[in-house]
C-alpha cells in the first residue's frame, strides 16, 4: 500500500470525526461533559460548539503536520526507510482521536460507560504501535527519541530506540493490566511512561559516553 493511500485512511478517520459532530449536534446539550477524573467520574464541561470542533479540528491540523514533516526533515531520506511504519502510526493516531471523540459524544448522548477505561484502552494501542515505530525508526529530526546523544550517534540512536520500543510495548501492557485496578488504573500508565522517558534518556547518555571513551582508548 502506498503512502498516499495510508494517509487517505487517516483522512477518512478525521472526516468521520467531523461527521459524528455534525450528526450528533442537534441532540447534545449546550454544555457537554469533557473531562473525567481518574475514577472515571465527570468533573468538567465545555460548550457544545468547542467540544464538537476541538478533536476533529486538532486531528485535521495534526494530519497536515504529519504529512509535512517527512518533506521538511533534513534527514527525510531516512524517514523514507521506515515510511510505512510512520504512515501507519498516523492512521493509528487519527483512529485513536476518532475513538475518543466518539466516546465523548456517546457519553453526552446518555450512554453511560467508564470513559477512563476507554481512554486507557485507546492509549494502550497507541503506545504499543509507538513501540513498533520506535523499533524501526532511522535517525531523523522529528520522529523518535531525540536526545543530544541519539542525534549524535547512529549506534546510540539504534540501541536506544530498540530499548524504547520494548519499553513502550511494556507500558501498553501495564496500562491494560491497570484496568483491573479501577481508580488506580491511570498510574499503571503514568508511572511506566515517566520511567520510559527517564530510562531512555539516561541510557542514551551513558551509552554515548561509553562509546566515546572506548573510541578514545582505541585512538591511543
DSSP codes of every residue in 76-93? HHHHHHTHHHHHHHHHHH
- DSSP letter string, 168-207: HHHHHHHHHHHGGGGGGTTHHHHHHHHHHHHHHHHHHHHH
Rounded to two decimals, the pTM is 0.93
The distance between the two most distant Cα atoms of the chain, rounded to a whole number of Å, is 76
Task: Give the helix, strand, coil percentages of the chain, each rounded to 5.
Answer: 75, 5, 20
d(CA 52, CA 33): 11
Going residue by residue through the chain (220 aa), what tens digit of pLDDT does each one get?
688 899 999 999 999 999 999 999 999 999 999 988 877 788 889 999 999 999 999 999 999 999 999 999 999 999 999 999 999 999 999 999 999 999 999 999 999 888 999 999 999 999 999 999 999 999 999 999 999 999 999 999 999 999 999 999 999 999 999 999 988 899 999 999 999 999 999 999 999 999 988 888 776 6
The DSSP element (H or E) to which 156 belongs, if any, is helix 154-178
Model pLDDT for residues 97-106, shown as the tens digit of each residue: 999 999 999 9
Place of cell 561509553: 210
pLDDT of residue 220: 65
pLDDT of residue 42: 87
Place of cell 513498533: 132
Amino acid at each position: 500500500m502506498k503512502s498516499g493511500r495510508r494517509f487517505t485512511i487517516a483522512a477518512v478517520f478525521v472526516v468521520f470525526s467531523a461527521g459524528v459532530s455534525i450528526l450528533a449536534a442537534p441532540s447534545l446539550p449546550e454544555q457537554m461533559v469533557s473531562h473525567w477524573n481518574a475514577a472515571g467520574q465527570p468533573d468538567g464541561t465545555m460548550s457544545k460548539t468547542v467540544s464538537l470542533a476541538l478533536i476533529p479540528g486538532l486531528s485535521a491540523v495534526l494530519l497536515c503536520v504529519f504529512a509535512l514533516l517527512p518533506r521538511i526533515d533534513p534527514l527525510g531520506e531516512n524517514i523514507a526507510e521506515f515510511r510505512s511504519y510512520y504512515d501507519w502510526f498516523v492512521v493509528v493516531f487519527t483512529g485513536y482521536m476518532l475513538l475518543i471523540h466518539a466516546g465523548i459524544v456517546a457519553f453526552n448522548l446518555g450512554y453511560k460507560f467508564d470513559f477512563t477505561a476507554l481512554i486507557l484502552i485507546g492509549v494502550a494501542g497507541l503506545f504499543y504501535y509507538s513501540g513498533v515505530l520506535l523499533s524501526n525508526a532511522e535517525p531523523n529530526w522529528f520522529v523518535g527519541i531525540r536526545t543530544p546523544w541519539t542525534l549524535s550517534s547512529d549506534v546510540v540512536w539504534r540501541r536506544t530506540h530498540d530499548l524504547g520500543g520494548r519499553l513502550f510495548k511494556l507500558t501498553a501492557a501495564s496500562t491494560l493490566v491497570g484496568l483491573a485496578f479501577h481508580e488506580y488504573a491511570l498510574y499503571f500508565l503514568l508511572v511506566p511512561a515517566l520511567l520510559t522517558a527517564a530510562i531512555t534518556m539516561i541510557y542514551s547518555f551513558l551509552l554515548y559516553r561509553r562509546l566515546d571513551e572506548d573510541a578514545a582508548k582505541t585512538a591511543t
